[in-house]
Chains A and B, each alone.
Chain A
Amino acid sequence: MAMAGICYNDPEYRASRYSGRGGLGATMGSKGVKAIVIERDGPGVEMADSDLFKIGQRKLAEALRNHDVTKPGGALNSFGTAVLINILNQAGGLPFRNFRSGVFDEAEAIAGETIADEVKKRGGEGMMGHSCSPGCVIRCSNVWPRKDGTEHVSCIEYESDWSLGANLDIDDLDAIAEMIYICNDLGLDTIEAGVTLGVAMEGGLAEFGDSEKAIDLLREVGRGTPLGRIIGNGAGLTGKALGVTRVPVVKNQGMPAYEPRSVKGIGVTYITSTMGADHTAGYTIAPEILSVGGESDPLDPQGKVELSRDFQATTAFVDSSGYCLFITFALLDSESGFEGMLETVNGVLGTSYTGDDVLDIGKKILKMERKFNEAAGLTRADDRIPEFMRREKLPPHDRVFEITDDELDQLWDF
């Protein structure tokens, strides 16, 4: 089933953290792998130079503790990643009703601020500042409580909040929590689940805003009914089955929570990324919306191919290190933190990478991924945006996606 991700346990053994995207769960399933258990008393990680690692670790931790976004009591720690809901909405880049608008009038009802307020009011087992991984400095996860204070789900993060909320015209956090719970229970990618339900609503299987019906459609996946199997195979297949052309996918993968017509650079990343529409592959949202790592006008198509290429290359390096991508928010603004990250890598591997190597290594990784895709039969024709985004002007900015196919192809000229 294409919507299946690989689910990891969090420190309290909740099956709730994901390698969600790209159908990795389906790949494992095709190999007959049901689960991998790692014993606690493993051999650990061998280090080439543990002193250097410790020096780097200190610098990196200090950068994270000092940056306004990643520090204790900062935006991520206090409000979780859903702190993005309001700012994307203000920027006109929060996809609403299967990408019909970039503004959701009820955005505040599902925003990180509201999640934090409600967690506090309900009390009990709910919490903000939850750590999804042992030793995390940032702690952006949360545990959402039911109205009676008992635990409902971990965690309501930005992408799930958007895909199962704003994208479906649903402003009820308890309904969103229930859908996240179902995704965790079944092992589904929450982004793909929400994008697929958006396409299903577009195709008439439910009305936008009908959270009860949305929950029921998602439960069909677990029941293994014919309809459940269609939905479980993602937005692309569901669009075909229902004859819907407004299907926001690239390389058959559903688009995440940023509208490419309002934020051009992230559109370039969606279209050219080797794994299909993926925001994390080259998160140009940092300069385009958040003013982190410089500033770039989100509506201006100029220079976005280069911007996305640089972000994709740097990200390929950071992803290969195994670090959480959120460290880059601090690293983009802190030379010492960046240096520290490299020192930890060099300390483990015995390498002597410098900042100058990062882009080159990242580009090599991208080329390798590209070759894999080519061997699998993908071509330039797969680096394309859904047609409706070239034709339909998106409110509130009334813009289409203007970057041409030829310009997009230039991303690979390096």
Chain B
Amino acid sequence: MAQIKVNLFANLRRFNPGGPEAGEFPLEVEEGSTLSDLFRELGVPKEEVKIVFVNNLRRQKDYVLQEGDRVGIFPPVAGG
């Protein structure tokens, strides 16, 4: 198993197990889990995910999660 930290943002906050305002939460995932597996576990529809950062780097859905990773999951956002 690998211990990671996860945060969901904007309209995806509704999938935070602690509620939309809970912020970052710890999670244990099986060794070899990918970001796609993580979306499934959290019940986040993959078509709603636009961008994922892991440890401040943008990662694709097939990225394999590592012990200590900090994951930030975003729907489409913009501003300026």
Q: Which residues of A are in contact with B by a Cβ distance under 8 Å?
A: 67-70, 74-76, 78-84, 86-87, 90-92, 102-103, 108, 111-113, 117, 140, 157-159, 279-280, 283, 285-286, 289-292, 297-298, 325-326, 329, 396-397
Contacts and interface: CB of A to CB of B under 8 A. Distances in A.
**Residue of B11, B72, B77, B79 ringed by the most chain A CB atoms within 10 A:** B79
B80 A326 contact: yes
Interface string B55-80: 01010000000000000101111111
Interface string B17-60: 00011010000000000000000000000000011010010100
Given A92-B56, A103-B56, A117-B21, A79 B10 contact: yes
Contacts of A297: 58
Contacts of B58: 91, 297-298
A405 to B, nearest CB: 27
Interface of B: 7, 9-11, 13, 20-21, 23, 50-51, 53, 56, 58, 72, 74-80
B80 A81 contact: yes
Contacts of B10: 75, 78-79, 83, 86, 112-113
A75 B80 contact: no
Contact of A396 (B56, B75, B78): B56
A103 B70 CA distance: 14
Contacts of A292: 76, 78
B55 to A, nearest CB: 8
A75 B75 contact: yes
Contact of B78 (A69, A103, A111, A159): A69
Contact of B79 (A80, A117, A298): A80
Nearest to A161: B79
Q: 8 tightest CB-CB pairs across the interface, nearest first?
A: A81-B79, A68-B76, A84-B79, A90-B53, A90-B72, A92-B56, A75-B77, A69-B78
A290 B76 CA distance: 7
Contacts of A68: 50, 75-76
Contact of B53 (A82, A91, A283): A91
Given A78-B11, A113-B13, A329 B56 contact: no
A108 to B, nearest CB: 6
Nearest to B50: A291
B80 A87 contact: no
Contact of B77 (A117, A280, A290, A298): A290
Contact of A82 (B13, B51, B75, B79): B79
B21 A329 contact: no
A279 B79 CA distance: 11
B75 A158 contact: no
Given A86-B72, A291-B51, A396-B56, 5 more contacts: A68-B76, A74-B76, A75-B76, A75-B77, A81-B80
A280 B76 contact: no
A7 to B, nearest CB: 19
Given A79-B10, A279-B80, A87 B75 contact: no
B39 to A, nearest CB: 16
17 contacts: A69-B76, A69-B77, A69-B78, A75-B76, A75-B77, A75-B79, A79-B77, A83-B9, A83-B77, A83-B78, A92-B56, A103-B56, A111-B9, A117-B21, A285-B80, A290-B77, A397-B56
